[in-house]
């Protein structure tokens, strides 16, 4: 099954970094003003979704779903739901982290939604790659300069981190005390993360 790439309208400055994450067989859903990115990314949409409040509805033969402007779902959340209906299990979201913190946080919640359905999902921006982990995760030293574990869905208990500068053993991370920020993988190793219960946002911060 192809991977579904959902493209939002938030700024992308390092197109080279994002293009390196794309695969030739990806299925592209472009949301509203995300259309501004397709030329620089060198892709064509398979599906266009939006209420077109920030971009003009394109005149095209590409399948387009026009949404009402007054609705519960954001364009990107609707796109994720539509992709799930179409059978996709692997997701990459780009152009969804930007100046609007409310939209950014809402888009991170798309990761929680997809993880709850046992789908694989990541968000990539100019600086990092994000995913939800609920049982186990790994971070190779070659992947990033720093990594952080953030509680964004209640408490996470029984958190263990091995092969990192700041290891943890049977720890608890809560939204009220985010001490899992800016850890480092031991050189040449892979950090191993496990969680007994709960979910954490894993943020891998790219090397400059």
pLDDT at 152: 92
- Give pLDDT, residue 57: 83
Question: pLDDT band for position 54 (50/70/90)?
Answer: confident
Q: Decide if pLDDT at 122 tops 90.
A: yes
Q: What is the mean pLDDT of residues 18-33?
A: 95
At residue 37, the pLDDT reads 97
Mean pLDDT of 164-174: 96
HEC sequence for 69-91: CCCCCCHHHHHHHHHHHCCCCEE
pLDDT surpassing 80 at residue 207: no
Query: What mean pLDDT do residues 107-122 have?
Result: 96
DSSP bridge partners of 120: 90
pLDDT band at 185 (very low <50, low <70, confident <90, very high): very high
Give residue 10's pLDDT.
94
Listed residue (123, 57, 65) closest to 94, CA to CA: 123
How many residues appear in the chain? 208
Is the pLDDT at 106 greater than 80? The verdict is: yes
- How many angstroms separate the CA atoms of 174 and 21, rounded? 31
Kind plus residue range of the DSSP H or E element containing 38: helix 38-41
Which residue bears the tokens 């053993």? 169
- Whole-number Å distance between alpha carbons of 166 and 15: 33
Domain positions in the chain: 4-126, 133-205
Task: Say which CATH topology domain 4-126 has.
Answer: Rossmann fold (3.40.50)
Query: Which pTM does this prediction carry?
Result: 0.93
142: pLDDT strictly greater than 80: yes
Query: How confident is the model at residue 51, as a pLDDT?
Result: 85
Q: How much is the pLDDT for 143?
A: 84
With contact defined as beta carbons under 8 Å apart, do 32 and 6 qualify? no
Helix (H) or strand (E) holding 194: strand 190-197
Residue 180 vs residue 51, higher pLDDT: 180
Q: Please tell me whether residue 102 adopts helix, strand or coil conformation.
A: helix
For the domain spanning 133-205, the CATH number is 2.60.120.320
| Six-digit token string for 120 | 């694989």
Of 17-26, 66-75, 122-131, the poorest mean pLDDT is in 66-75
Q: How confident is the model at residue 39 (pLDDT cuts 50, 70, 90)?
A: very high
């Amino acid at each position: 099954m192809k991977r579904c790439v959902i493209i939002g309208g938030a700024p992308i400055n390092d197109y080279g970094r994002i293009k390196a994450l794309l695969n030739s067989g990806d299925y592209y859903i472009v949301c509203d003003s995300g259309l501004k990115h397709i030329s620089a990314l060198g892709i064509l949409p398979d599906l266009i979704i939006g209420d077109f409040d920030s971009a003009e509805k394109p005149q095209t033969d590409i399948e387009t779903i026009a949404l009402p402007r007054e609705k519960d779902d954001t364009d990107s959340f609707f796109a994720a739901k539509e992709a799930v209906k179409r059978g996709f299990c692997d997701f990459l979201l780009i152009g969804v982290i930007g100046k609007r913190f409310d939209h950014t946080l809402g888009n991170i919640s798309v990761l929680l939604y997809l993880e709850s359905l046992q789908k694989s999902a990541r968000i990539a921006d100019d600086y990092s790659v994000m995913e939800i982990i609920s049982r186990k995760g790994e971070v190779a030293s070659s992947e990033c300069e720093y990594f952080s574990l953030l509680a964004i869905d209640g408490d996470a208990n029984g958190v263990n981190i091995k092969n990192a500068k700041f290891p943890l053993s049977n720890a608890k991370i809560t939204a009220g005390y985010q001490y899992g920020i800016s850890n480092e993988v031991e050189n040449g190793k892979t950090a191993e993360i496990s969680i007994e219960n709960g979910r954490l946002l894993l943020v891998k911060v790219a090397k400059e």
